[in-house]
Amino acid sequence: MSDFAQKHTRICTFYLLTDENPQMEQELLQYSKWKKAVLIIPLLASEYTLTENLPVLENIASQLSNASYLSRIIFGLDKASGEDALLLAEILKRSGMKNYLIQHNDGTGFSSIYQKLSEAGFGFNEPGKGRNMFMSFGIALALGAQSIGIIDADIRTFNRRQLDRLFYPVQALNYQFSKAYYARIKERQFYGRVKRLLLDPLLISLKRKFTDTQEEKVLRLVDFLLNFNYQLSGEVVFDAQLLKRMQFATDWGVEIFTLIEVYRKATSCAQVEISHGPFDHKHQPASEADRNKGLYRMGIDVVTTLLSALVIEEGLEINEHFIRDLTTTYLSVADDLIKMYADNAAFCGLSYDTNSEEFLVDRVFKNVILYAGDLLLSPSFVVNRFSSFVSAHESFKPYIEGGLLNVIEKTGENIRTDLYETPKTVSWERVTRKIPSIINEIIDVVEKEKRLY
């Protein structure tokens, strides 16, 4: 019998129990008459200017060309010249797509919006996927979207039915958040290594520790995260009212940070099995020696985002002993999971390289946790944790400014400068409060860009 068990009262799991629901497309189209749906696709110019990448984007565009329930598809384009933007427009037109919008982040129009946000103190000087997504969210809200989805531009196995399933809980059933899950398999091997070999065993280790100490507040968040089948999937849909209130990480911690924000701010959420078959997109190298590349960098961002959220928001107390003990437990749990994955692969007739998996755990992910612990235990993290507390509790400021906070800042001259903080955006709700005219200015830029592309 297919699995259809519901295992968490705050997360509804939508299982793919049949090949197709013939009513779904019609229902999505019906709801779109009064509930505008917008899709966002962040991408780099290299994802279509390089010959090997072009077929992937062409397939995505072709599949989306008949998604009639989408009022607009926003392509957030980074690292692109004017000629690159025109080339993207040609590709989209060839696919038959009519409802696209090219958000050329390096063009004069959107550059002016970023400049305005930076001048208002929101810090949008540095380009990157986080800044790109944030602007796309603002455009979608400016266009009156009520359901806003996002997918990556490198999905090699994309078909439109996957997107239909992802949108359905928010668009038709009024959930506030929907997140995709699927099997990451390529060439008969398991992928999704950061999720399988780092995040899951780390969450299980945290649950073991907090069950023993009965720290209910921390346990609730850990349990919430564990009940997602694929916490690090990048395909999600938001209800607009939730999206306005959310902040977003701008590094590799974006997916786990988003789930933490959903835990804090959403009242209903769903995870959706969007594909029967394997789901494939770009894989990162392991990068054992370089903390700034590949799975090493991704792992650091994920772990620091998770642990700093538990420390700052959930009140978790950590020290060096805690990190070392957590790492020891992690290694034991990861070893158990590797055996389970090996057995599952054998059951399905798939290939499984136990040595490679153990290497990742022992030589990369173990060091990720230890390094993340060092970052969080640095003196500068204490300062930032204190500052975060002050920022969150405005009533303390009159008593603290010029006092203890001033002392901390003055004695911080020799504090380490390699502090890892979760870089994140503000919410659009906050932006519109501070710059009431920003939505109209975005609409003006959108209208000008439409005439160009």
pLDDT band at residue 2, thresholds of 50, 70 and 90? low
Helices (H), 186-293: 193-194, 200-213, 216-226, 240-245, 254-265
Q: Which long-range contacts (CB under 8 A, 24 or more apart) does 333-341 make?
A: 333/201, 333/204, 333/205, 333/208, 334/197, 334/201, 334/361, 334/365, 335/361, 337/196, 337/197, 337/200, 337/201, 338/197, 341/190, 341/196
pLDDT at position 190 over 60: yes
Is the pTM higher than 0.75? The answer reads: yes
Terminal CA-CA length for the chain: 51
Which segment of 49-58, 180-189, 216-225, 330-339 scores lowest on mean pLDDT?
180-189
**Segment holding 38, helix H or strand E:** strand 37-44
pLDDT tens for 332-390 read 999 999 999 999 999 999 999 999 999 999 999 999 999 999 888 875 554 444 444 44
C-beta neighbour count of 77 within 10 angstroms: 26
Rg value, the chain, Cα = 22
Tell me the average pLDDT across 38-63.
Answer: 95
pLDDT tens for 87-139 read 999 999 999 998 999 999 999 999 999 999 999 988 777 778 888 999 999 99
What SS3 class is residue 189?
A: strand
Which two three-digit tokens encode residue 356? Answer: 């490679």
222-224-226-228 Cα dihedral, nearest 10 degrees: -150
pLDDT of residue 382: 46
Which segment of 268-282, 311-325, 368-382 scores lowest on mean pLDDT?
368-382
Which two three-digit tokens encode residue 387? Answer: 């500052």
Instruction: Decide: residue 343, CB within 10 A, 0-12 exposed, 13-18 middle, 19+ buried.
Output: exposed
Which segment of 32-36, 129-133, 140-144 scores lowest on mean pLDDT?
129-133
pLDDT at position 292 over 90: no
pLDDT of residue 397: 42
